[in-house]
Amino acid sequence: MIVAILELRAHILRFLQRFQLVVEPVVKFIIAFVVFRTINNAIGHETMLMSLPIELLLSLLGTFTPAVILILLAAVVSLAHIYVASPILAILVAILMAILYCFIARFSGKYGYVVLATPILFLLKIPYVIPLILGLVANPMTIIPTACGVVIYRMFQVVSSAAVADSTLAMEDILTLYIDVIDRLIADKQMILTIAVFFIIILAMYLVRKISMEYVFEVSIAVGAIVCILGFLVADTVLHAELDIISMVFGTVGSMLIALVFQFFRLALDYTAVERVQFEDDDYYYYVKAVPKINLAVPERSVKKISENDETVFSDEIDDAELSEEERYALGEESVEDEEEDEPFFHNQ
């Protein structure tokens, strides 16, 4: 069973490596399409942006652009929806998103997709996948794009509940609306606690996977899941954050399974063949622990086609080998003895 799973893993990885030039754009297109479809379903006020051709066009544009540009496109689409519902709130959201975009462009780097994935996974009730995976592959600084994603999700929740269709408001009403939205964002305990717990998860997993022990990555995932559950339980009990504990527990378990699958395809180690090496140079004496990776060599199946011409040549070769010396002479071929008799006289001198 284990060998079959490892062979399946090897086949999948080999397929991804062989067709990387095709698979990568397809995956980016699917991610972009999911992002724009989620925005349209969650905020959707502008009907033109919700049409399938526009979504496909935006997704195609996001396929061949960096993650930062895709985030910018998603922000523009979100602002367009909010502007239809409330031009007043659109201005405030534009200012807040410009501030967040500066952090994203400066600190996110290759983890820009985390900003997009976080709100989507919140809608799917499994946002805990983000810190569990980042704890495996990144350092604690990735809390910056994660926090930006959490802020964007909570901001759109607040803005959606505060949006008004009528833009003809008095100046006092506009200021009141601004102050109310900002106060709700600043006083959002759930947002602040979520960012804090996510940071603790990433930090705890980062520290655990630096320890030299067997199955360290799997152990770090388990530690991250435990920290996640305990962190939100403490936040709900002590700080009265009003969290959905049952949904959080099931979401954490599902996120842990996803993280384990991700780790299995990312790096599989054979702890039964661990080697420990000691050596020295002029300055240091080294103790090295080497854990081999599990990389099954998948044999390639080669099918050899034998045509009728090949069979004819093969049979001719067999018949020619079975010919006697007289038959060869009759066919105009010289025997070995004839070749020896025809040698020049001076050769034997």
Q: What is the CA radius of gyration of the chain?
A: 34
**Does residue 101 share a domain with residue 174?**
yes
* DSSP conformation class of 50: T
Residue 300: helix, strand or coil by DSSP? coil
Number of domains in the chain: 2
The CA distance from 147 to 88, in Å, is 25
Report if residue 94 sits inside a domain: yes
**Does residue 204 share a domain with residue 330?**
no
- CA 130 to the chain's CA centroid: 11
Structure tokens at 216: 């360290």
Q: Which one, of 11, 69, 76, 82, lies nearest residue 43 by Cα?
A: 82
Residue 279: helix, strand or coil by DSSP? strand
**Does residue 206 share a domain with residue 153?**
yes
**Does residue 314 share a domain with residue 192?**
no
The CA distance from 3 to 296, in Å, is 9
**Does residue 311 share a domain with residue 227?**
no
Where b means 16+ CB within 10 Å and e means fewer, 212-249 reads eeeebbbebbebbbebbbebbeebbeeeebebeeeebe
CB 210 within 8 A of CB 219: no
Domain-terminating residue out of 247, 268, 289: 268
**Does residue 307 share a domain with residue 166?**
no
**Does residue 242 share a domain with residue 130?**
yes
Report if residue 291 sits inside a domain: no
Report if residue 343 sits inside a domain: no
Q: Which one, of 314, 313, 312, 333, lies nearest residue 323 by Cα?
A: 333
The CA distance from 270 to 214, in Å, is 10
Residue 286 has φ and ψ, to the nearest 5°, of -110, 140
133, amino acid identity: I
Bridge partners of residue 293, in order along the sequence? 269
Question: How many Cβ atoms from other residues are within 10 Å of residue 344's Cβ?
Answer: 7
Domain-terminating residue out of 242, 268, 294: 268
The CA distance from 244 to 129, in Å, is 17
Report if residue 315 sits inside a domain: yes
Report if residue 288 sits inside a domain: no
pTM of the model: 0.76
Structure tokens at 336: 């070995």
Domain-terminating residue out of 223, 252, 268: 268
Report if residue 296 sits inside a domain: no
Q: Which one, of 234, 175, 248, 154, lies nearest residue 200 by Cα?
A: 234
Regions of the chain with pLDDT less than 70: 107-109, 161-175, 177, 241, 297-349
216, amino acid identity: V
**Does residue 308 share a domain with residue 171?**
no
Q: Which one, of 24, 38, 35, 25, lies nearest residue 58 by Cα?
A: 35
Give residue 119's domain range: 2-268
Q: Which one, of 221, 291, 206, lies nearest residue 261 by Cα?
A: 221
**Does residue 183 share a domain with residue 108?**
yes
**Does residue 330 share a domain with residue 241?**
no
Report if residue 102 sits inside a domain: yes
Report if residue 282 sits inside a domain: no
The CA distance from 77 to 40, in Å, is 8
**Does residue 91 share a domain with residue 160?**
yes
**Does residue 181 share a domain with residue 86?**
yes
